[in-house]
Amino acid sequence: MIEQGLTDFQKESVELFINAAAAISVPRSVGALYGLLFSTEEPQCLDDLTSTLQISRGSAHEGLRWLRSIGAVKLIYIAGQRKEHFVAETSLRRLAAGYLRDRIEPHLENGQDRIHQLKKACSEETSVCEFQHSRVNQLASWYKFVQRALPLLKALAGKF
Amino acid sequence: MIEQGLTDFQKESVELFINAAAAISVPRSVGALYGLLFSTEEPQCLDDLTSTLQISRGSAHEGLRWLRSIGAVKLIYIAGQRKEHFVAETSLRRLAAGYLRDRIEPHLENGQDRIHQLKKACSEETSVCEFQHSRVNQLASWYKFVQRALPLLKALAGKF
DNA sequence: CACTGCATTCATTTTATATTGAACATATTC
DNA sequence: GAATATGTTCAATATAAAATGAATGCAGTG
């Protein structure tokens, strides 16, 4: 993990994002990729990234695919260059929207189904249901909270 | 992973929280523990939990410790019983506060230091700094966003 | 103070995740 | 259409995380 030919600024950035990645349980290679792109003005191609970060082609490719999927890196075409080049997306609004869309919202849809299942299980119980009902209501309330919170976050992100 | 003697309601709850745990990168045993406590009215002791969830003492103990640390389960003393008993905390306000305090805020303090490092690295560069400055500003702005968002979330959680 | 019941720890094993790099696919050039 | 350059996949490997359960510690009890 010895990056050569990087400025201090770039090294710090890579470390910062490796750390941030760990905080949200994202592989270190993904953090490193974003960190390098974030701190580098010139669009980088896959070979630039693998050689400066000392990571494998496979990792770099998967990492970039992931970053692109949430909209954290953009593909740049450079005239006269066959290789694909990448730069970091830095708009908080877009980053937040992409992350929430890809990493949070899918779980919620799943959760909705499961709450429904749970409600069914409750109504099929033969015993007294007072307690279960209060828990189902609790869940429904949490769900509403999240449904409120997400748009709120997106809107707030747009202001930064 | 075959839980016996559980009502459908409890089984569904355990599955739901195992899933939710995965969504926020928390071990399945932790999800299972909370799921069972959430769906069970009677306070449970460690042996109840290990036997119904079929998980080891060690796992259950660590899991409970973690859940207690963020305030997601409460320790209950029952008169005449030496064993510790546990119930689920369901107040969204407390859950959110505990989670943010233990799992998010520590990373942010760390992040603050690192942004400072980065700023220093930037000012020490000999080359033109236009680009680096814009990135440092970007980071500072993201940081402010989070500082705004956290209290906002806590406040919103209090309303559910 | 020996015994018992429970909580806690931690070295090992198991399982899951990330990384690697060679093989493959696809395009471009001559 | 051969040769070259680039993007993509995936089985194998390395690494990290979680789960296990026996060993330990620490009350309280007789």
Residue of A nearest to B90 (CA): A138
Q: What is the mean pLDDT of chain B?
A: 93
Contact in structure between A86 and A64 (CB atoms under 8 Å)? yes
Listing DSSP states for B1-41 in one string gives: ----S--HHHHHHHHHHHHHHHHTT--HHHHHHHHHHHT-S
Contact in structure between A78 and A139 (CB atoms under 8 Å)? no
Distance CA A30, CA A7 (A): 20
Strand runs (DSSP E) across A35-82, as ranges?
44-45, 73-76
Q: Do B12 and A118 touch (CB under 8 A)?
A: yes
Please name the residue ranges forming H helices in B24-158.
Answer: 28-38, 46-53, 57-69, 92-99, 105-124, 130-157
Rounded to an integer, the average pLDDT of A136-149 is 96
Q: Do B25 and A20 touch (CB under 8 A)?
A: no
Contact in structure between A60 and A31 (CB atoms under 8 Å)? no
Distance CA A117, CA B127 (A): 61
- pLDDT band at residue A1 using 50, 70 and 90 as cut-offs: very low
Element of type H or E holding B122: helix B105-124
Q: CA–C1' distance A58–C20 (Å)?
A: 7
B76-114 residue pLDDT tens:
999 989 999 999 999 999 999 999 999 999 999 988 999
The Cβ-side half-sphere exposure at A129, using a 13 Å CA radius, reads 14
Distance CA B91, CA B136 (A): 38
48-77 in B: which are within 8 Å (CB) of A? none
Distance CA A154, CA B99 (A): 21
pTM: 0.93
Closest to B9 in 3D by CA, of A145, A12, A136: A136
Closest to A43 in 3D by CA, of A90, A7, A85: A85
Q: What is the pLDDT of residue A3?
A: 59
Report percent pLDDT > 70 for chain A.
96
Report which residue type is found at B133: H
Is the model's pLDDT at B73 over the cut of 90? yes
* Structure tokens belonging to residue B16: 């739901």
CB contacts, 8 Å: B144 with chain A: 160
